[in-house]
Amino acid sequence: MSENRFFKVYDANDVAVSALLLRRGELVFTIGEKHSFSLRGENIIFGAAEVLYGLEHNTLDTRMISVHAREGSDITKIPNANLKKFITLYNIGFNITRVIARAVQKSNDVIGQLNDRFIKENNLSKRHYITYYNMIRVMGTEAQRRGHPRLEAFIKLKEQSLAYRKGRLFTQSRKEIQSIEGRRIDEFKTEFPKEAVICKQNDPADNLFVLNRGQIRVMLGSEEVALIDKPGTIFGEMSLFLNEPRSATLIAASDALVTVIGRESLQAVSSRMPDFFMRISTTLWTRFKTNMEMIRELEQVKPDRARKELVNLQKEIEELMRSERIFWLREYSEEIQNAL
């Protein structure tokens, strides 16, 4: 990007004090160190998600990416009071959400590229991170079953670690699907019996969904990559807002009650739920923030760090065995040793 053709609108980590309107021109959004995408056109509202999130949580959020505009672009700030009104209007709310969905999609692509590069450079590190994640996960389940508060606290601490999050990323080929809570619209609810196909990969996207009850399997080809089981989870919205084919097949893993909102019903739904687009936008922003944190971590990863993290975990487990006399942890220490 030539500096004399573009000017900075805002940087990553700037405080998000207001959304902006591109009256006309072109924007370039930079994700991470080397990845970017552009938007051009008229009357595009951007930088809104982080502001909406801040307004909803009574705080000031920060920008996660930097934005530059081509010289000659016409940009103006949107007062926050106006933004809260705009998001309730169907056409504006839809377009704000579509810009955010595009950013989430691009960040998903970047994670995929960085993940592929990481695997190519050091597949052993991937296996070490997966071992780390699996050890913490199964130890946590066993600690709860046996009732070890000291070990449960240790597990909760490790679940916040960089190594655990990387292992989870490599274990799950799809990010966890986020949830929105809110009012339901009864007439859009549909019962799906177990094994019913809700939508198929590569089909046109005409609906978005909200889980009310049950479980939904997310399938890429014949592989299950995620399980949606939290009531209030919204899914299928990305393809709908971006007007792209379904990226996955969705199958009821149990009898499920799902709110199905078709494209043709979005306007009616948003008129009955003034916070409809606000909730979807802030949910997508939360997902985008998670993606950006992972991108920054992947860009800074060092090939030998995974092994060191796993060695340290083994030492900590052995110390717990001695200090807390939790001797059944020995099998996990031995499993880590075999992985090393």
By the 10 Å C-beta count (0-12 exposed, 13-18 middle, 19+ buried), 216 is classed as: buried
Q: Is residue 89 part of a domain?
A: no
Q: Is residue 117 part of a domain?
A: no
Q: Is residue 304 part of a domain?
A: no
Q: Give residue 190's identity as a one-letter amino acid code.
A: T
Domain final position from 225, 242, 272:
272
**Domain containing residue 226: CATH number:** 2.60.120.10
**Whole-angstrom Cα distance, residue 56 to residue 23?**
26
Measured CA distances, 134 to 165, 178, 316, 322 (Å): 11, 22, 16, 22
Domain final position from 84, 102, 136:
84
What SS3 state is found at 209?
strand
Range of the domain at 251: 186-272
3-state secondary structure 239-261: HHHHCCCCCCEEEECCCEEEEEE
Q: Is residue 153 part of a domain?
A: no
Q: Is residue 12 part of a domain?
A: yes
Q: How many CB atoms lie within 10 A of CB 290?
A: 17
Total structural domains in the chain?
2
276 near 86, Cβ under 8 Å? no
Q: Is residue 212 part of a domain?
A: yes
Q: Is residue 17 part of a domain?
A: yes
Q: Is residue 68 part of a domain?
A: yes
Query: 66: which strand partners?
Result: 30
Full pLDDT tens readout for the chain, 340 residues: 555 689 999 999 999 999 999 999 999 999 877 788 898 999 999 999 999 988 888 888 899 999 999 999 999 999 999 998 899 999 999 999 999 998 888 888 888 888 777 666 667 777 888 888 888 988 888 888 888 888 888 888 888 888 888 788 777 544 444 444 444 455 578 899 999 999 999 998 888 888 889 999 988 888 887 888 888 888 888 888 888 899 889 999 999 999 888 888 888 888 888 888 988 888 888 888 888 888 887 777 666 777 888 888 889 888 888 888 888 888 888 888 888 7
Closest CA to 21 of 92, 81, 103, 71: 92
Give first-to-last CA distance, the chain, whole Å: 44
Domain final position from 272, 288, 303:
272
